[in-house]
Amino acid sequence: MHGFANPRRFLALASWLTPVLLVSGLLLTGAALAWGYFTVPPDRLMGETVRILFIHVPSAWLGMGGWTTIALASLVYLVWRHPLAALAARAAAVPGMVFTSICLATGSIWGRPTWGTWWVWDGRLTSMLVLLFLYFGYIALAQAVEREGGSSRIPAIFGLVGAINIPIINRSVVWWNSLHQPPSITLGSSAIADVYLWPLAMAVIGMSLLFGGIILARMRALLADIQAEARIRRKADELEPA
């Protein structure tokens, strides 16, 4: 892993892996959504609203996955001082926030005809909303550190502390009575019919590949900004009179 701490090695890998992830992710996601929205039949109980599943579930997965990425990258940065770990955490924050927002929006759209309300303050919905606020806080903190020149340890610690919310989201429907249905997919079993499960799995894989490609693209952009700023400072130092 430390071999890729070298920016040159990272860029050599990311330059070809980024388009591979983005293109394959877009193709898989498009095929999965077309399959789910135009081919599968309406559900016996939920009717046409079941189609929201193919966006809602992958978005929830990636919303949590984004913060898990932040937490792991923050741990690597704090323990091993991995040069690119802080960049990886920053790169995962915005796409993670976007997927969390999509999860909350599609969940509300699904809840209106199913529960008769756009929102309820149950464990799953509230903990996902907390996750969105954590993303807002992390992004603001990381930008403030970059702007003011503070220590990158501060957002890294925040990223680790915020990870406490991930198991709360995961187990919320088990720990508390909730309108939200219990876990439909567990280790070794699934309560989802195969006709919905397969396009859902394809959508999860496709959006995950897309998510990975976006993170790599953002890491490359952040690294380019840092290198450009360093070159500008060197030029400024060279132009200063002795």
- Evaluate if residue 141 carries a pLDDT over 90: yes
Burial status of residue 237 (CB atoms within 10 A of its CB: 0-12, 13-18, 19 or more):
exposed
pTM: 0.91
If you search the block for the tokens 């702007």, which residue do you land on? 147
CB atoms within 10 A of CB 174: 10
Q: Which residues are CB-neighbours of 78 under 8 A, at least 6 positions away?
A: 153, 156, 157, 160
44-53, 104-113, 133-142, 195-204: least confidently modelled range: 44-53
| pLDDT value at residue 236 | 57
| pLDDT value at residue 25 | 98
Backbone angles phi, psi at 9, to 5 degrees: -65, -40
Domain boundaries, the chain: 20-39+51-179+196-239
- Fold for 20-39+51-179+196-239, please state it: Four Helix Bundle (Hemerythrin (Met), subunit A) (1.20.120)
pLDDT tens digits, residue range 41-66?
A: 988 878 888 899 999 999 999 999 99
| pLDDT value at residue 97 | 98
